[in-house]
Amino acid sequence: MAKHETEEEKIFQMFKKQVAAEPEQIVRYCRGGEGPLWVSGENRPEEKDIPNCVCGAKRIFEFQIMPQLLNHLQVDSLGESIDWGTLVVYTCADSCGGGNEYLEEFIWKQDYSMGSAL
């Protein structure tokens, strides 16, 4: 009997396939482009979840930090362990921020789904 893949498994398999093409990639940059590569169908932000910039403009997807970074951080000891599926950064659509100021951006953390097969 053939195993039927759940939608969650399909999403995770697509993620793994994309990552396999560039397994050392830590940052995926695509400002305003096709959007993040999600590890799961769960815990994806809706437009209402992403606050506007302090200038009032909407924030758009700019880049994401891939879980491969965890391999380089060496924080796998008990009590110091961190984990994420992907960290997605949204920045001001109007690229505000005069001068040399740093502005706080918005980050969305998506964890691995319990239904995805690692």
pLDDT tens digits for range 64-115: 999 888 878 876 655 556 778 899 999 999 988 766 778 889 999 998 766 5
Asked if the structure places residue 29 within a domain, the reply is yes
C-alpha 71/C-alpha 57 separation (Å) is 35
Asked if the structure places residue 70 within a domain, the reply is yes
Angle ∠(55,56,60) on CA atoms, nearest 5:
95
Asked if the structure places residue 118 within a domain, the reply is no
Asked if the structure places residue 69 within a domain, the reply is yes
Range of the domain at 60: 7-16+24-44+51-96+105-110
Q: CA torsion sign, 24 to 27 to 33 to 39?
A: positive
pTM for the predicted model, two decimal places: 0.80
Q: Most confidently modeled of 8-12, 15-19, 55-59?
A: 55-59
Asked if the structure places residue 11 within a domain, the reply is yes
